Each structure stands twice: as structure tokens, then as C-alpha cells.
Chains A and B, each alone.
Chain A
């Protein structure tokens, strides 16, 4: 198949998809390899940009999906009468801890935050950004929690490695240890 044709097929697939389409899925459907998919996506992205389209393709939660550009968000919100429904500070703090330390128990989260999180966890589960991840093999067999693929989509992350780096976190801790042992 010709490149222009391949691009059109890819465009059609992305157009009808309401979830991020994984590149190997596209590759399988189109009978091409994943590398070619990435190249085609890149070309489409450039085309939309040069044509000043109101949408483009983004790589989210391990797949490709059409998105409208942020400058049109106010209009779309008006159409859907969308309510702003942001996570609370408590929810985001808890979520941040889960994202880095998963799988993690409720007690371990509370250890870091210094406050009870049972209510927050319930809300995060309802919001589908976290889910259960079995039980920890310690006395009491406490429930473990982890983030979901929807968590990535919610924050526009390609995958978990796109989270803000923890490297400087380690620096902070090691310098804290130096401070203690220094005396």
C-alpha cells in the first residue's frame, strides 16, 4: 500500500476510536510494523499542524488518540456543560504517593502523609484512578493499591515513567542522611 493510503487508513482508525489505540494493535490491523506506525503518526501530526487543524494526535496511556487542541476547550466545555471536577489536594497527594510507591498499603500511605487516607482512597477508587492490587504478604494481609491505565490518561501521561522524576527526591534523602551521620 502507498504511504498516502496508509496514512488515510491510520487516520480513519484513529478517527473512530474512542480509546487510545495501541501501536501494535494498529500494526496488526494494517499489517505493517510498529515502527512504520510511529512514522505515519508523526507525518499525520505534522500535516494537521501545518493545516492548522483544531485537533491532533497525542500519545496517551500507551496508545494514540485524537484530541482537540486546548484553545477550543472553552467551546467544548460550553457544549457539554462540563463541570469542573478536579481532585482535592488530599486526593492528589495520596495519588502521588501511590503512583511512586505502588503497590502500597493504606497504612504505608498514612505513614507518609501523616493523616488518615481511607476516605480519600475510596474517592480515588470511585474516580477509577486507582484500584486494588492484591494483598501484602504480611500479618493482617492488608490490601495493596496501584494506579490504573485511566490514571495515565487523566494526567496525560504516556506511561508511568513520564511522571515527574524521583531522582532529586533521592538526593534530598541522601543529603538528609549525610546530615544525620555527619555529627
Chain B
């Protein structure tokens, strides 16, 4: 009974249930607009069985698709008239699946093109990023400061704030963004360049840091200042916008 020997089974890896379905349709030269659901379901399930045999964990998505296929099959078995009463539209139960398959297939083709491009690009080399040049400010900010970096910086700064005094005087809440903008404008007028981590070190409360951060964002948005980060995870600094024109 042990017929395990002599078989070379090649199990292709699939990206997901849609990938597997497309493969079955292609292999059997089926018409994607008129998929023989019973046959596809049979082959699909035997593939899942093979996966289990080879101890490959069958992802839940594959099982969901198996259920969907059987649902479609059962729907197609119900006489049309009956379906009509239940649902107004006389739609092919396979239609939503077909649409999904087509959309996925399209993106699969595109990703093949992208993979070719990636291969192609790997043969082109540029000058590696030279940070020493940037340090000397020969270059302007070379990438947009993105939200993710800003949030990370903010989190880091929040931890820097001194939280020791448990007992302290309650100060009247006089922090607001407009005041901070004024303060920062004044500061940049004299300093030209402000390192954000240094700037925030002087602040004692979370509220103040938040106000300062919002003030910086507001100023950047209005084009008063330029925020710049010279290297990944590096210092974020701000300087007056007119200065950046002079530098550039």
C-alpha cells in the first residue's frame, strides 16, 4: 500500500486563493467569463488537500475561497425563477468572483512589469549619498520630511521632557500656538537655524512641546520657515524661508 516512492510532486507556491484560481483557469484553458465552477472547485479542493498532505499550513484565506466557490455552485443549482423571487437582479453568481479575478490578474501583470524594471534598474548605479556634503550645507533638504519621521521625533522628544517634579506650582495656562509662532519667529530672526531637539529641550510641559510643534508646522505650511532633515532619523531643523532662497 505504500506507494509513496516514485512520485515527484511539484507544488507551486501561490500568492493567495486568487492566484491559485487563476492558475487553475489558465492550466485548464477555461474561459474566465464562463468558469465551470464544479470542476474548478474540485481541483481547488484537491490542491488544498495536497497542501495539507505536505504539511503546508493552509491559510484561512484559502478556506474562505473554498467556501465561496461552494456557495456559488449551490446558488447556480437553484432554479433561476426561484432566485429571481429572492433577489431582484438576475445576475450570474460568478460575476463578482470573475471581476475580482480580472482585477487581480491585471495587477499581477503589472507587478511582473515592475519586477522586470527592478531587475533592469539594479544595473544602474548612481553616486552614493554623500552625507559630508550635506553637512556643509551645499545641498538643500533632499527629501520631504514625512509624517512618520515627524511623529517619531515627537515621541522621542516627549520622553526627553523632564517629568520629575511631582509637587509644583500650578501655572496659569498661557500657552498657545500664536504665542509660540511669535516666539519662534523671534528666535529664528537671531539664530537663523534652529535644531528642533535643542529647541524642545527648553520646554517643560507636554503642552508646550505640542504648541511648539504645531507652531512649527503652521509656519512651515505658511511658507515662513523650511523644515529640513539632513539624514534619515537625523536632526530636524528649521530655518527662515527667505534664507533657503539665499542658500539655493
Which residues in A have some Cβ–Cβ distance to B below 8 Å? Answer: 16-19, 25, 28-29, 58, 65-70, 72-73, 76, 84, 86-87, 89-90, 92-93, 95-97, 100, 112-116, 125, 131-132, 134, 148-150, 154-157, 163-164, 166, 169, 172-173, 176, 179-180, 183
* Cβ–Cβ contact A18 & B129, under 8 A: yes
Are the CB atoms of B126 and A65 closer together than 8 Å? yes
Question: Does B172 lie at the interface of the complex (its beta carbon under 8 Å from any beta carbon of A)?
Answer: no
Are A89 and B124 within 8 A (Cβ)? no
Given contacts A18-B129, A112-B104, A114-B100, contact A92 B111 (CB under 8 A): yes
A65 to B124, CA, bound (A): 11
Known: A95-B111, A97-B107, A112-B107. A149 touches B124 (CB 8 A): no
Tell whether B54 is near chain A: CB-to-CB under 8 Å.
no
Q: Is the CB of A169 within 8 A of B106?
A: yes
Decide if the interface of chain B is mainly helix, strand, loop or mixed: helix
Chain B residues in 8 Å Cβ range of A16: 133, 138
**Known contacts A86-B118, A131-B148, A180-B92: does B125 contact A73 (CB below 8 Å)?**
yes
Name A75's closest neighbour in chain B (CB-CB).
Answer: B125
- State A95–B19 Cα separation when bound (angstroms): 16
Q: Is the CB of B126 within 8 A of A173?
A: no
Q: Could you tell me the distance in whole angstroms from the C-beta of B5 to the nearest C-beta in chain A?
A: 33
Return 6 A-B CB contacts under 8 Å, by A number.
Answer: A17-B139, A73-B124, A90-B15, A173-B103, A180-B92, A180-B98
CA distance A137 to B31 in the complex (A): 39
Q: Of the candidates B105, B120, B144, which one forms a contact with A156 in the assembled complex, judged by CB atoms under 8 Å apart?
A: B120
Which residue of the partner chain, among A76, A116, A131, A154, contacts B121 with CB atoms under 8 Å? A154
Q: Does B160 touch A at the CB level, under 8 Å?
A: no
What residues on B are CB-neighbors of A154 within 8 Å? 118, 121
Q: Is residue B137 contacting chain A, with contact meaning CB distance below 8 A?
A: no
Chain A residue nearest to B124 (CB atoms) is A67
Q: Contact between B111 and A18 (Cβ–Cβ < 8 Å)?
A: no
Q: Does B52 contact A (CB under 8 A)?
A: no
Q: Give, as a whole number of angstroms, the nearest-CB distance from B83 to chain A.
A: 13
User: CA–CA, A87 to B118, complex, Å?
Assistant: 8
Instruction: Evaluate contact between A100 and B110: CB separation under 8 angstroms.
Output: yes
B88 proximity list for chain A (CB < 8 A):
none
How near does chain B come to A67, taking the closest CB pair, in angstroms? 5
User: Are A176 and B33 in contact, with the CB atoms below 8 A?
Assistant: yes
Given contacts A28-B248, A149-B144, A176-B99, contact A95 B126 (CB under 8 A): no
Nearest CB of B to A95, in Å = 7
Does B235 sit within 8 A of A, measured CB to CB?
Answer: no
- Name 4 extra pairs, CB < 8 A, besides A72-B125, A93-B107, A155-B114: A97-B107, A113-B15, A154-B121, A172-B106
Closest to A133 in B: B147
A29 to B142, CA, bound (A): 16
- Whether B110 and A89, one on each chain, are in contact in the complex, defined by CB atoms closer than 8 angstroms, is no
User: Once the chains bind, are B147 and A115 in contact (CB under 8 Å)?
Assistant: no
Residues of chain B with a CB closer than 8 A to A96's CB: 107, 110-111, 114
Q: Is B187 an interface residue (CB 8 A)?
A: no
- Please tell me if the beta carbons of B107 and A156 are within 8 angstroms of each other in the complex: no
Give the distance in Å from the alpha carbon of A121 to the alpha carbon of B98 in the complex: 26
The one of B98, B123, B146 in contact with A73, judged by C-beta atoms closer than 8 angstroms, is B123
Closest-by-CB residue of B relative to A95 is B114
